[in-house]
Homo-oligomer: A and B are copies of this chain.
Amino acid sequence: MSQSLDIAVIGATGTVGETLVQLLDERDFPVGNLYLLASGESAGASVPFKGRNLRVRDVADFDFSQVRLAFFAAGEAVTRSFADRATAVGCSLIDLSGALDQGDAPSLVPEANPQLLAGLAAPYRLASPSASAVALACVLAPLKGLLKPQRLTVAASLAVSSRGREGVTELARQTAELLNARPLEPRFFDRQIAFNILAQAGTPDAEGHISLERRLVAEIKQLLGEPGMRISATCALAPVFFGDSLAVSLVAESAVDVAAVRERLAQAPSVEFVEEEGDYPTAVGDAVGQDSVYVGRVRGGLDDPCELNLWIASDNARKGAALNAVQSAELLIKHYLSKILT
């Protein structure tokens, strides 16, 4: 592309925002002027881009008419405060925070639902879904036509980086305290996360679900175009810095051809199929730092021919968030560059 876009990244100092800026550079994204933004106290920091250090400004003072595309990679509250301000002046946006509902900003995973782009009107409002939804969509979309999923059960062990830099710092601090036999005082999490698993990655509502579980279920249905699929999701926090692990069990309408599933996954874009000689994918060692979603442990049911089980490992900050947002932007530009620029 010979034309370039002036772009804003909101939340540029966070784990996802920093990765996003790095990817814009790595992938030669057609960036004209890049504005790095953050809310309140993070403003003033600097972040490297193409050999220069860019100063991070306060999003509250930003004039969105200066840019044509904005990535919202800060928290939900920041998106809620500034998303409308952006599109009101013609700036398209991709939200990574989960703040906007699907009717307002539908989720896009280019490997799963690129057809979403047909028929959108500028300025565009898209969402990059939760990291687990990105990983699941990349793995399940290629199985379309081969099986019709009726029920999906997902047990997600999320990395502490899903809670941002503070989650990472807290796991490191707690682990060091314990290894040095010092008394543990949880700070960022409500209890010991080191050498432990926390059953809920958020606060449960009256029915016991956390918002991430509701979000994941809604996103998967939209991404796969399967509104009638029944989905159970459990999102726990594991003592892992980066990389989500998902235990997935699926019940299809009819018997699953496991060999054919393996073949499809081995050829699927953005999917790394790991199963040679007892090998299996892991977050650390395989997925982290990579642009693909890793899948393995593909096996049928022990007592149900309609069952399919999988294990998925994915870099939550990179493939699950920053990269999916950048790939979504690339696809958006491919379709609508002229409309974005005007």
As for how many copies of this chain the complex holds, the number is: 2
A248 nearest CB across to chain B (Å): 9
A240 nearest CB across to chain B (Å): 5
Instruction: In the complex, identify which listed stretch (A95-103, A132-140, A202-210) lies at the interface while the others stay far away.
Output: A202-210
| A45: Cβ under 8 A from any B Cβ | no
Q: Considering the complex, give the chain B residue whose CB is closest to the CB of A239.
A: B239
A157: chain B residues at CB < 8 Å are: 157, 197, 236, 238
- A238 CB contact (under 8 Å) in B197, B249, B300, B307: B197
A267-305 vs B: 1/0 string, CB under 8 Å?
A: 000000001001011111100000000001111111110
A23-47 vs B: 1/0 string, CB under 8 Å?
A: 0000000000000000000000000
Task: Report which residue of A214, A307, A311, A313 has the largest number of chain B beta carbons within 10 angstroms of its beta carbon.
Answer: A311
| A176: Cβ under 8 A from any B Cβ | yes
| A265: Cβ under 8 A from any B Cβ | no
Question: With contacts A153-B153, A299-B207 known, is A199 near B234, CB below 8 A?
Answer: no
- A217–B302 contact, CB under 8 A? yes
A232: chain B residues at CB < 8 Å are: 153, 249, 301-302, 304, 307, 309
A303 to B296, CA, bound (A): 28
- A234–B200 contact, CB under 8 A? no
Instruction: In the complex, identify which listed stretch (A73-81, A188-196, A315-323) lies at the interface while the others stay far away.
Output: A188-196
| A230: Cβ under 8 A from any B Cβ | yes
- A231–B196 contact, CB under 8 A? no
- A299–B245 contact, CB under 8 A? no
| A66: Cβ under 8 A from any B Cβ | no
A301 to B208, CA, bound (A): 10
- B239–A303 contact, CB under 8 A? no
Query: 18 extra interchain contacts, Cβ-Cβ under 8 A, other than A196-B243, A232-B307?
Result: A153-B155, A155-B155, A155-B249, A172-B179, A191-B285, A192-B282, A196-B283, A196-B284, A197-B238, A199-B281, A207-B299, A207-B300, A217-B303, A230-B303, A232-B309, A234-B247, A236-B245, A238-B239
**6 smallest A-B Cβ distances: which pairs?**
A208-B299, A155-B155, A155-B247, A196-B284, A199-B311, A199-B280
